Structure 1
Amino acid sequence: MSEILDFAGIGAGPFNLAVAALLQGQACRSQFFEAKQQFDWHPGLMLPNAMMQTSYLKDLVTPVDPTNPYSFLNYLVAKRRFYDFMNAEQDAVSRQEYADYLGWVANKLPNLQFSSSVESVEDRGDHFLLQLPEGQVRSRRLCVGAGKRPYVPENCKHLLSPKCFHAIDIAKRNLNVAAKRVAVIGGGQTGAEIVLNLLNHHWGEPAEVSWVSRRSNFLPLDETPFSNDWFTPNYVACFRQWNTQQRAKLLREQKLASDGISPITLKALYQRFYQLTHLQKDGTRLGLYPGRCLEKLSHSGQYQLALQNNFNGDAELLNADMIILCTGLEECLPACLGDIGYLLARDEGGQLQLQDDFSARLPGQKQSRLYLLNMGRHSHGIAEPQLSLSAWRAACVVNSVLGKTLYDTGQATGFTHWQTPSLRKAQVA
């Protein structure tokens, strides 16, 4: 039998990159398998002037290991741009530069194997058996960080085509919107960036741009200090102690802390709206439609969007030549876990039950351990799918794998008392 790895990873996205970076130098035989030929990170969304919504200090390693050589600051120094970066006084890092940082880390890590697609995984009790085209690999622990898939509403799936598509790969498309009526569905950051690029004629000058959102307005990202407390280890620890119903309620309330539009993007949009409306009256027509649900999408020479106006209940009809779906991503187990996916414990709502170290609950007393990253929003809170806690999340996994506290993951409590046992009303005897 071949040597058994201590740790294997499926996928080489940011979450598994953080784990790989924090494992470097440790007595742990590890290998990460990535189906792509080389590293890339959402290349289809690399639009002009797209900016990160997360601080560069919340990189792959800094929050738990600030002297780690795979930090963003070390990347700047290695690229000889540290002073230029500081003097530029940017409000945020561009998505292009952060992707370059991630690629820089990936190229330096010796245990990443590209062009290696894991076809299936078997649970052998004390280890996992991974089947790849080039052979089999055995590992005692397995970490899946394969990302999410584009979410396409059911009432749109039957019309997917080069003129009706999800935005996930828009930057890679040979798009021409000249003289066309374009409808953008979705009121989050991606929708905002695409509307801005349409109005800046990045793909030609459209005749009309219609922006449709279920939200009551085109709402900003909630990045205020107290909301940012939701993206801390202390909050995650408290969130895990609350019941399923309370967690679901909080996740709904916190939506804009992760899915709102960056204020700088909103400002650029409004300024562009002003120019088109008052200064360039013969240019692209603009229609903003918040508070609308897409009830039905049909096509007969043109696309017809049947909308429900949530403000007054009216049924409305919108026509377009092209549909761009900015409808987000959804959690999914990768196909390679098909043989063991049914074994994973779930709560009453069908959501995966992940433990503190992001490992799945498997039946029986297993010596092997399966970690699932980017799949624990319902178990760990709003921060779980976000980059904000990449380093901390990875440190939790690494500590679990090594069986010791290599990294300090017990952060200070912060200013907000999410729960205070000492103030709990005493029980009457």
Structure 2
Amino acid sequence: MRTHDFVAVGVGPFNLGLAALTADLPGLDGVFLERRPGFDWHPGLMLEGVTIQVPFLADLVTMADPTSRFSFLNYLKHTGRLYPFYIRESFYPLRAEYNAYCRWVAAQLPSIRWNTPVETVTHDGEAYLVHAAGETFRARKLVLGIGTAPRVPAVADQGPYVHSADYLPNKARLQGLDSITVVGSGQSAAEIYHDLLGEIDRHGYHLSWLTRSPRFFPMEYTKLTLEMTSPEYIRYHHALPAGTRDRLAREQRHLYKGISGDLIDAIHETLYAKSVAGPVPTTLLTGAELAGVIWDEPAQRYTLALHHAEQGRSFTAITQGLILATGYAPRVPSFLDPVRHRIRWDERGRFDVAVDYSIDAAGTEIFVQNAEEHTHSLTAPDLGMGAYRNSVIIKGLTGREVYPIERRIAFQQFGAPTAGLPRTLVTS
């Protein structure tokens, strides 16, 4: 049986970037397995005109290899869109454009095997055996890039709710109802609310937007905050105690799970424009936590139990449509069960991810993509850090630094200096 250098499971943007960065490396043999028939990035949220939240430089390869033939700029050149993109004068590609770019890259990579769901992974004493779609792939190393799964609060898991990941296929049905409620305060919630608000006059529903957050947090784009997406911050955050990291994860959510400022302004402008003709049939409410949900099948409506934390008041709301923009959560795939003993786990049953993204006991065999938010903080889901992480993983796969790995890019430093402050900052 042929033994590959590595098998990668899942082909989202991060493993697609790994496939592109390893495509032209001589002597490295990898295969990528994906259960879907082709690449499709967040199809349920492919709203017209919506952009991704990172600049075009955060494509699959550029931050590791600016000369790569798989860059976003090369895609634009090959599709005749480079000059229109230049004239547009925006760093931020459209979400549909980014998806088309990824499809363009995927179509050039014979290492990807579509329609190949992984069933189980075993180990024969020398290498991993990945059993998928009736085939067995043998490899010395694994890269797990299966992505995250939609998070649904246990109290809300009933009735015909729609998670934001499935919004577009359900949009027409939702707009036929007399009331729709969006729960959540991130970018997806804001995009869906704005989309439904724009067509509220045509359909006549009452539209509500509820969040437990104390306000509709904007994404913070200030430069010194962006320096937290850096190798230095990864090392600093990774070295903190697990309890401290978990606390920071809660405190830092608005740094990467907030709403773009332009979208917040666009929502307010839409509300203002519609209010000229009279009151807009919409409710926006912050500080309201979803405490319970009851689905009334005969009446075809939800009763939402809500609690306002700041006032300490509980109340209810009635709605026919319920959209849960409640984010995504990492998952541990069951196909790893036969090799669980080869993997490091933390006290909460999560992958114990090393700073180099390895999770196996030896620290040289299994690597993860976007399954390390609890150890690597906001850099885990950040598209702009994908190429950096892949540079580190490729070093782990090959034993050499194929793409230069940045060690320090920030002006600031994180944590207390080991030698104290410079003499010029010390007062007598």
**TM-score between both structures, scaled by the size of structure 2:** 0.93
Which of these residues, 398, 406, 419, is aligned with residue 422 of structure 1? 419
Which of these residues, 182, 185, 198, is aligned with residue 184 of structure 1? 182
Q: What residue number does 1:249 align with?
A: 247
Q: What residue number does 2:425 align with?
A: none
Give the Å deviation of 1:355. 1.6
Q: What residue number does 2:144 align with?
A: 144
Distance 1:88 1:408, change over 3 A: same
Give the Å deviation of 1:204. 5.5
Q: What residue number does 1:291 align with?
A: 287
Letter in 2 for 1:104: W
Letter in 1 for 2:100: D
- Kindly tell me the number of residue pairs found equivalent between the two proteins: 416
Aligned equivalents of 1:90, 1:178: Cα separation in 2: 36
| 1:106-255 alignment runs, 5 A limit | 106-157=106-157, 159-161=158-160, 164-173=161-170, 175-176=172-173, 177-178=175-176, 180-201=178-199, 205-255=203-253
Q: Deviations over 1:17-61 (max 9, x none)?
A: 111111122211111011111111111111122211111101111
What's the secondary structure of 1:340's corresponding residue? helix
Does the 8 A contact of 1:198 with 1:205 survive in 2? no
Aligned equivalents of 1:206, 1:98: Cα separation in 2: 33
Letter in 2 for 1:268: A
Q: What residue number does 2:65 align with?
A: 65
Give the Å deviation of 1:424. 7.3
Does the 8 A contact of 2:141 with 2:397 survive in 1? yes
More divergent stretch after superposition (392-401 vs 376-385): 376-385
| 1:26-41 alignment runs, 5 A limit | 26=25, 27-41=27-41
Aligned equivalents of 1:140, 1:340: Cα separation in 2: 13
Give the Å deviation of 1:179. 5.3
Aligned equivalents of 1:226, 1:57: Cα separation in 2: 19
Give the Å deviation of 1:347. 2.3
Q: What residue number does 1:326 align with?
A: 325
Give the Å deviation of 1:188. 0.8
1:345 aligns with 2:344: yes
Distance 1:390 1:216, change over 3 A: same
Give the Å deviation of 1:279. 1.5
Does the 8 A contact of 1:178 with 1:204 survive in 2? no
Q: What residue number does 1:4 align with?
A: 3
Give the Å deviation of 1:218. 1.0
What's the secondary structure of 2:402's corresponding residue? coil
1:15 aligns with 2:14: yes
Q: What residue number does 1:390 align with?
A: 386
Give the Å deviation of 1:359. 1.2
Q: What residue number does 2:314 align with?
A: 315
More divergent stretch after superposition (33-42 vs 123-132): 123-132
What's the secondary structure of 1:382's corresponding residue? helix
What's the secondary structure of 1:130's corresponding residue? strand
What's the secondary structure of 2:207's corresponding residue? strand
% same residue: 29
What's the secondary structure of 1:315's corresponding residue? strand
What's the secondary structure of 1:235's corresponding residue? helix
More divergent stretch after superposition (285-294 vs 202-211): 202-211
What's the secondary structure of 2:263's corresponding residue? helix
Aligned equivalents of 1:180, 1:64: Cα separation in 2: 50
More divergent stretch after superposition (59-68 vs 403-412): 403-412
Note the residue ranges of structure 1 that are not aligned, 5 or more in a row: none
What's the secondary structure of 2:366's corresponding residue? strand
Aligned equivalents of 1:203, 1:99: Cα separation in 2: 31
Letter in 1 for 2:394: V
Does the 8 A contact of 1:120 with 1:339 survive in 2? yes
Does the 8 A contact of 2:33 with 2:118 survive in 1? yes
Give the Å deviation of 1:235. 1.3
Does the 8 A contact of 1:119 with 1:132 survive in 2? yes
More divergent stretch after superposition (259-268 vs 90-99): 90-99
Aligned equivalents of 2:239, 2:316: Cα separation in 1: 46
Does the 8 A contact of 1:185 with 1:191 survive in 2? yes
Give the Å deviation of 1:380. 1.4
More divergent stretch after superposition (232-241 vs 208-217): 232-241
Letter in 1 for 2:164: A
Q: What residue number does 2:367 align with?
A: 371
More divergent stretch after superposition (93-102 vs 331-340): 331-340
Distance 1:196 1:98, change over 3 A: same
Give the Å deviation of 1:192. 0.5
Letter in 1 for 2:76: L
What's the secondary structure of 2:203's corresponding residue? coil
